[in-house]
């Protein structure tokens, strides 16, 4: 098939080629891209078709989108390019800047209609799907980063300071026991100290004048 030849029998012939068993040309059955992105399709052929022209078309393939007859040279038509890698018997088609209109059924093809034993071109069907581009979330829904958060924190209030200075006793049983022990020491030692003080005062009390009594009188 050559560009613009408009062979009226080609769509019917392509339907016949959908019958399984044609392995001279193979590739992916489907591929997917995103609007604004790109995708590539790689088709593989047999050694005997190394010098055959390769092309890419969209069904009903009345015209080729892009065709190449040379090895390792990219041929471009608009947003579509094709390159024949004869060293590994593959050719790659790339669609760029995809739109939703690019979705549809395409074919990797080889111009075999002029070769002995071939009345029609060999093609392989590939279904291309194009999904809408992902839209960015509204700014109101985006999580905002706060650089230098430690410098923008509010000053602690009196309630937070009080809470930090007076922890819950139930969370610190050791502190509660220390307080009880201190109180016991106070209640036990204070009476002892008072008793000792009283004894000292009693011993050091001032002595009054003695009155001597005459036994003879």
Percent of the chain whose predicted confidence (pLDDT) is above 90: 47
Position 118 in a domain: yes
pLDDT exceeds 60 at position 6: no
Position 52 in a domain: yes
The tally of CA atoms less than 13 A away on the side-chain side of residue 63 is 4
pLDDT exceeds 80 at position 83: yes
Position 2 in a domain: no
pLDDT, residue 17, reads: 43
* Band of residue 156 on the pLDDT scale cut at 50, 70, 90: low
Read off the pLDDT of each residue in 69-89 and give the average, rounded to a whole number. Answer: 96
Query: What pTM was estimated for this model as a whole?
Result: 0.55
* CATH at 120: 2.60.40.10
Position 137 in a domain: no
Percent of the chain whose predicted confidence (pLDDT) is above 70: 62
pLDDT, residue 217, reads: 43
pLDDT, residue 89, reads: 97
When divided into structural domains, the chain yields a total of: 1
* Band of residue 170 on the pLDDT scale cut at 50, 70, 90: low
pLDDT, residue 16, reads: 43
Position 39 in a domain: yes
Residue 108: strand, helix, or coil: strand
- Per-residue pLDDT of 171-206, as tens digits, reads 555 666 677 767 777 677 777 778 887 877 767 766
- Per-residue pLDDT of 85-98, as tens digits, reads 999 999 999 999 99
Position 175 in a domain: no
CB 94 within 8 A of CB 80: yes
How is residue 158 written in tokens?
């009196």
Position 5 in a domain: no
The range of the structural domain enclosing residue 36 comes to 22-131
pLDDT, residue 134, reads: 79
pLDDT, residue 106, reads: 98
Would you list the DSSP string of 115-182? STT-SS-EEEEEEEEEEPPPPPPPTTTSPPP-TTHHHHPPPPPHHHHHHHHS--GGG-HHHHHHHHHH
Beta strand pairing call for 90-95 and 122-131: unpaired
Read off the pLDDT of each residue in 208-216 and give the average, rounded to a whole number. Answer: 51
pLDDT, residue 42, reads: 97
Position 163 in a domain: no
pLDDT, residue 60, reads: 94
């Amino acid at each position: 098939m050559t560009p613009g030849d408009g062979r009226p029998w080609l769509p019917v012939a392509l339907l016949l080629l959908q019958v399984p068993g044609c392995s001279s040309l193979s590739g992916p059955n489907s591929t997917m891209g995103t609007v604004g992105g790109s995708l590539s399709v790689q088709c593989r052929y047999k050694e005997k078709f190394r010098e055959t022209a390769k092309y890419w078309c969209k069904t009903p393939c009345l015209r080729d989108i892009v065709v190449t007859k040379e090895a390792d040279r990219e041929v471009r038509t608009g947003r579509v390019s094709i390159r024949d890698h004869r060293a590994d018997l593959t050719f790659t088609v790339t669609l760029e800047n995809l739109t939703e209109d690019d979705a549809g059924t395409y074919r990797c093809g080889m111009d075999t209609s002029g070769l002995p034993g071939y009345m029609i071109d060999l093609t392989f069907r590939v279904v291309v799907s194009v999904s809408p581009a992902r839209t960015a979330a509204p700014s109101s829904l985006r999580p905002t980063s706060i650089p230098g958060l430690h410098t923008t924190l509010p000053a602690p209030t009196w309630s937070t300071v009080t809470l930090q200075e007076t922890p819950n006793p139930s969370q610190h049983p050791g502190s509660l026991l220390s307080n009880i022990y201190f109180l016991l020491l106070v209640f036990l030692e204070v009476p002892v100290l008072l008793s000792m003080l009283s004894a000292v005062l009693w011993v050091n009390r001032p002595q009054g004048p003695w009155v001597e009594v005459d036994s003879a009188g």
